[in-house]
Amino acid sequence: MRSPLQAQVVQWLAQPGDAVRQDQPLLVVEAMKMEHELRAERDGRLAECLVVPGDTVNPGDPLWRIDAAAIQAPRRDSPTSAPEAATPERDELRRLRERLAFTDDAARPEAVARRHALGLRTARENLADLCDAGSFIEYGALAVAAQATRRSEAELIAQTPADGMVTGIGSVNGAMFGPERARTAVLAYDATVLAGTQGIRNHQKTDRLLGIALDQRLPVVLFAEGGGGRPGDTDMPIVAGLHVGTFAAMARLSGRVPTIGIAAGRCFAGNAALLGCCDVIIATRGSNIGMGGPAMVEGGGLGRFPPEAIGPAGVQHASGVIDLLVDDEAQAVAAARRCLAFFQGRVVPVPPPPLERLREALPASRSRSYDSRGVLEGLADDGSVVWLREGFGAGIHTALARFDGRAVGVLVNNPQHLGGAIDPDAADKAARFMRWCDAHGLPLLSLVDTPGFMVGPEVEARAQVRHVSRLFVVAAALRVPFFSVVLRKGFGLGAMGMTAGGFHAPGFTVAWPGAEFGAMGLEGAVRLGYRKELEALPEGPQRQALFDDLLARQIAQGAAIPMATTLEIDAVIDPADTRAWLLRGLEGAKLRDGPAVRTVDPW
């Protein structure tokens, strides 16, 4: 055997006369501070050792001689060879296994029991529910709180596992979309560790994972429960900690990847700020969300309040902070999986309810209100609709739905609120929703039934002019396909706002047969346009008869068929054909040229 490298002989592992087998280590040499085992090239008996420890050998120098003919050493796989003893666990592997055991919920039964007593789950239980089985790989599991100057290492390991923040990448909805599309960055504050506060190291962990999410374009799910910044980390010289990059890193994801935040329990300060950056906020009914918890409120001289009084879920749902309000964390996780699926790809379609029912979806009376959500439920793939932000901006419903398995964002006027008129909250809600869908490439469908923008001194005092104009500004920059269907009323600027700025802006604008159109509400048009004629008659039956006659003419002139005759809309369709129109539109529609949306307005 000749030396394969330049090295120094360290140790012989066999002696002359020993029986050896092929690939058995015989000699240890050292080169560049690394030891190398040199192995027997054949079975036989070691006849001669040609070097001794301390010798320096060069490539090609002889090292030993094996007499192959003298003996055939037993093979490792020979049926006569003795069974080998089990290899003992190496110390470093044992130490790792023991250390990782402290990150498991089983290592902290008291903390877990307290959590369950509140009706809440641990961070790891939520992660196990969200991610496909066996798919989660954890980053930073061995971190502990940066408090070594205050606590022992053993205490930190036992009481601050993962520094109160579990981060990693897992597969969500992998069975539906495959492993590549299912990859998701997941971050979960652990409320059983220092109240889920933001420590120095869990900021570092968050920054690391958010950077990976941005680089690899991974969607993000954030379990945000916790009390905000942690003042007790003393291992690093920090005065205020306002230089951390976590919040900018989270904001940088806006418009680039879908982000979903989940709040259960108490979510205050920095935790709430990260939650507020998310595209969709899902919260349990028992949650509290606020930019400052009780200590911060009291510290500002604003009084003393229990945590339950600050940002309760009912208030935050009505204010527009919460998109989806659910009963518990199990429902929150299910909702997160469902919302995330809209951005992961197309699914096997589920047939809609019988489309003929749409012909009876609207009341026979032109002035009777109805629940317009039923129209979308009757159009979309059965069971696919998810209504968002239902507690806020009641004048316009917003939803994610699927048509033939394809995800679409939907706007629907609500005649049960102000007759479908669009007020500031509804306009903000719709404009933000359009921008969000555009950022992630979801086509938009608008189901129109509005008398226009809300008017009057009260609504103008709420900056109505600015708010409703957002509909025009946002729609003008949309790249995604946009389609409009006028169900009943299409009046004035409000109807134009619901159709991406005007009836010819969408890929198509069609109407159901009973739809009515006008520059303003028809009743108002008669009262204003024919005021002299009406006031010339005495108030009573005669004036009312003239009004009814003039209104009937306006209705006839503004009906769907005359609108299509003058090409102001593209077609009048049977309600049962609405889905077919949309599917055909989606098949040929493409993104418009233009700059991509850079961010999604949190509001």
For CA atoms 495, 500, 501, 503, the dihedral sign is: negative
Residue 82 has pLDDT above 70, yes or no: no
How many structural domains compose the chain?
A: 4
SS3 355: helix
Residue 568 lies in a domain: yes
Angle at 184 between CA 178 and CA 185, to 5 degrees: 160
Cα distance between residue 152 and residue 138, in whole Å: 25
Cα distance between residue 49 and residue 266, in whole Å: 73
Residue 88 lies in a domain: no
CB of 186 closer than 8 Å to CB of 127: yes
- Which of these, 206, 202, 186, lies nearest to 135 by C-alpha position? 186
Task: Tell me the pairing of strands 386-388 and 288-290.
Answer: unpaired
Cα distance between residue 414 and residue 375, in whole Å: 11
Q: What average pLDDT does range 424-449 have in this prediction?
A: 97
Residue 123 and residue 211 in one domain:
yes
CA atoms within 13 A on the CB side of 351: 3
Residue 177 lies in a domain: yes
Residue 492 and residue 479 in one domain:
yes
The secondary structure element, H or E, covering residue 12 is strand 7-12
* pLDDT of res. 539: 86
CATH number of the domain within which 38 lies = 2.40.50.100
Residue 347 lies in a domain: no
The residue from 341, 366, 396 where one domain ends is: 341
The secondary structure element, H or E, covering residue 467 is helix 464-476
Residue 350 lies in a domain: no
Other beta carbons within 10 angstroms of residue 450's beta carbon come to 31
Phi, psi for 85 (deg, rounded to 5): -70, 150
Mean pLDDT, rounded, of the chain: 92
The tokens for 162 are 């993962």
Longest dimension (CA), the chain: 133
Residue 282 and residue 192 in one domain:
yes
Sequence-ordered strand ranges (E) for 145-285 = 165-171, 183-189, 220-223, 259-263, 266-268, 280-284
- Which of these, 68, 67, 58, lies nearest to 29 by C-alpha position? 58
pLDDT tens, position by position, 143-157: 999 998 999 999 999
Report in angstroms the alpha-carbon separations of 390 from 28, 316, 397, 429: 73, 12, 7, 10
Residue 185 and residue 37 in one domain:
no
pLDDT tens, position by position, 2-24: 999 999 999 999 999 999 999 99
Residue 330 has pLDDT above 80, yes or no: yes
* pLDDT of res. 75: 54
Angle at 249 between CA 247 and CA 251, to 5 degrees: 70
Q: What is the domain extent for residue 544?
A: 521-558
Residue 268 and residue 176 in one domain:
yes
Residue 431 and residue 294 in one domain:
no
Residue 234 lies in a domain: yes
Cα distance between residue 408 and residue 412, in whole Å: 13
Residues found in the chain: 603
SS3 77: coil
Residue 37 lies in a domain: yes
The alpha carbon of 422 is separated from its chain's Cα centroid by a whole number of angstroms, namely 28
The tokens for 87 are 């290899």
* pLDDT of res. 366: 86
Kindly report which listed range (194-198, 401-405, 587-591) carries the lowest average pLDDT score: 587-591
The tokens for 89 are 């666990």
Q: What average pLDDT does range 166-181 have in this prediction?
A: 95
Cα distance between residue 243 and residue 240, in whole Å: 8
> Does residue 28 or residue 82 have the better pLDDT?
28
* pLDDT of res. 73: 47
Residue 457 has pLDDT above 70, yes or no: yes
* pLDDT of res. 557: 83
> What is the pTM for the complete model shown?
0.87
Residue with tokens 């394809």: 406
Measured N-to-C along each axis, helices 329-341 and 123-130 cross at an angle, to the nearest 10 degrees, of 40
SS3 489: strand
Residue 525 and residue 511 in one domain:
no
Other beta carbons within 10 angstroms of residue 265's beta carbon come to 23
CB of 587 closer than 8 Å to CB of 405: no
* pLDDT of res. 256: 95
The tokens for 483 are 């389609």
SS3 552: helix
pLDDT tens, position by position, 236-257: 777 677 788 899 999 999 999 9
Residue 151 and residue 280 in one domain:
yes
Sequence-ordered strand ranges (E) for 32-151 = 34-39, 44-49, 56-57, 64-67, 137-139
91 burial type by CB count under 10 A (0-12 exposed, 13-18 middle, 19+ buried): exposed
Instruction: Tabulate helix, strand, coil % of the chain (nearest 5).
Output: 35, 20, 40
Residue 596 has pLDDT above 80, yes or no: no
Residue 80 has pLDDT above 70, yes or no: no
How many helices (DSSP H) and strands (DSSP E) are in the chain? 21, 24
Share of the chain above pLDDT 90, in %: 79
Residue 224 and residue 306 in one domain:
yes
Residue 501 and residue 540 in one domain:
no
Residue 535 has pLDDT above 60, yes or no: yes
* pLDDT of res. 523: 75
pLDDT tens, position by position, 87-122: 888 899 999 999 999 999 999 999 999 999 999 999
Other beta carbons within 10 angstroms of residue 413's beta carbon come to 31
Cα distance between residue 102 and residue 114, in whole Å: 18
Residue 306 has pLDDT above 50, yes or no: yes
Residue 272 and residue 392 in one domain:
no
The tokens for 330 are 């199990």
CATH number of the domain within which 310 lies = 3.90.226.10
The residue from 281, 306, 341 where one domain ends is: 341
Residue with tokens 């489309």: 355
The tokens for 9 are 């002989």
Residue 569 has pLDDT above 70, yes or no: yes
Residue 537 and residue 569 in one domain:
no
Is residue 74 very low, low, confident or very high in pLDDT (cuts 50, 70, 90)? low
Residue 508 lies in a domain: yes
Residue 594 has pLDDT above 80, yes or no: no
